[in-house]
Amino acid sequence: MAKSFSQNSFFDESHVIAAPIPGLIYIPEYISQQQENDLIRIIDAQPWITELKRRVQHYGYRYDYKARNITPESKLEPLPEWLLSYCEQLHTDNIFSYLPDQVIINEYQPGQGIAPHIDCVPCFEETIASLSLSSPCVMDFTHVDTGEKIPILLEPCSLVVLSSDARYRWQHAISQRKTDKYNGKIIPRSRRISLTFRKVILVE
């Protein structure tokens, strides 16, 4: 997927890693360790929702996991400044052509994961971006037609961006396990936090 990154980016475009899936971009060290520490501190000061097996926080709009939709009634308070600044940076970096207005924060303890899925197509615009904090983990991508499976290691401070085929033709998942095997290495998991940025589509 071709992207024209901003000259004012706070990451080095040369660090962008070409992925084997059309529409997938992986950017290691998208944020600094200090930014990571600051985000974790702020996130942990906010209330967690415990309806799922993993803890979550919703900002901008609340996603209904049971109905699998978002409605105008799902709108929450405006994004707090600490999240809005990252939404603006993602837009400035031309990762999003529009300003994201919904963020879901997920906490994964070792052994927790998420089932294979494609983010709700009628709910969100094409681009999805997820920022990883604290622990590495492997995210598995599976093609919906061929069943081809490709693992991608998501490192702390990294950003993974999905659009085009990666958004619509590949499911992504995190297996429920406490270690990952990647390129012949065993990688233990610790607590991981992810911030997923999206733009909501509202049908009146």
Q: Which two tokens stand for residue 90?
A: 């993602």
Asked if residues 124 and 168 have their Cβ atoms less than 8 Å apart, the reply is no
pLDDT at 14 over 80: no
Tens-place pLDDT, residues 96-154: 999 999 999 999 999 999 999 999 999 999 999 999 999 999 999 999 999 999 999 99
DSSP 141-199: EEETTT--EEEEEE-TT-EEEE-HHHHHTEEEEE-S-SEEEETTEEEE---EEEEEEE-
- What's the distance, Cα to Cα, between the start and end of the chain in Å? 32
Q: How far apart are CA 200 and CA 176, in angstroms?
A: 28
- For residue 9, the model assigns a pLDDT of 43
Residue 18 has pLDDT above 80, yes or no: no
What the chain holds in terms of domains, given with CATH numbers, is 13-198 (2.60.120.1520)
pLDDT tens profile 53-68: 899 999 999 988 777 7
185-204 per-position pLDDT tens digit: 999 999 999 999 999 998 65
In the predicted model, is pLDDT for residue 19 greater than 90? no
